[in-house]
Amino acid sequence: MSAFDKWTERLTRRVARGTSRRSTLAWLGATITGAAVFPVLPVARAAAGSPHGGAGGHAPISSGNPQDPGDQASCDYWRYCAIDGFLCSCCGGSVSTCPPGTEMSPITWVGTCANPADNRAYVISYNDCCGVSSCGQCLCNRNEGDRPQVRPQSNNDYNWCLGTESSIYNCSTAVIIGVAMDGQK
C-alpha cells in the first residue's frame, strides 16, 4: 500500500505545483455554470404537437362518438376554439369534468365553435377547475372570438376561480351548452 500512497502523493504534489487555487476555482466555477446552463440550450421540439401548444407527449384521447370528432388532448380539438389554459383532459379530468381534488368554477366564459362533424356552431362554456396548483400539461391558448376585457363573459384572460373556495387555477374544461343560432358564430 505504501507504493500507492507514494504515487498518490507525487501526483497530488505535481498537480499542486502546476496549478493555482485561483485557476482551480475558475475551472470549478466554469464547470458549475456550464452544467446549470446546459438545460436551457435550444432543442428540437417538433414532436411537441400543434402550434397552439398541443398535447406534448400525451396519447390521443377520443370520445368515440362520430359527432364529437378529434383528439381531446390536442389544442386543435374543435371545442377548444376559445380556450386559454391547461387542458383538463391531460390533467386527470376530461373535456367536460375536472380532475379529482379540484372544483369546477361556477363562473365561466363562453365561446362559439364549429363542429366539423355536422358543420354547426355550438356554444361552449369554458370552466376553470380550481383548488390545486396548475397541472402544467397541454397548455392551449386559442383566442378565436376573444373579446376585450370590458366584456368579461367573452374573455379568456381572467382567473375564473374567484367563485370557488380556492382561487388557485388547475386546468380548463370545454362543456357544450347548446347549438348556436344561425349566423351567431
- Residue among 128, 146, 157, 182 flagged as catalytic: 128
The answer to whether residue 76 is catalytic is no
Q: Which residues contact 178 (CB under 8 A, 6 or more apart)?
A: 122, 123
Rg (CA), the chain: 27
Give CA separation, 26 vs 15, 30, 36, 177, in Å. 15, 6, 15, 63
Cell of 5: 500512497
DSSP secondary structure string for all residues of 94-115: -SSSPPTT-EE-S--EEEEEEE
CB 173 within 8 A of CB 93: yes
The answer to whether residue 128 is catalytic is yes
- Residue among 71, 84, 109, 146 flagged as catalytic: 109
Q: Which residues are designated catalytic? A: 109, 128
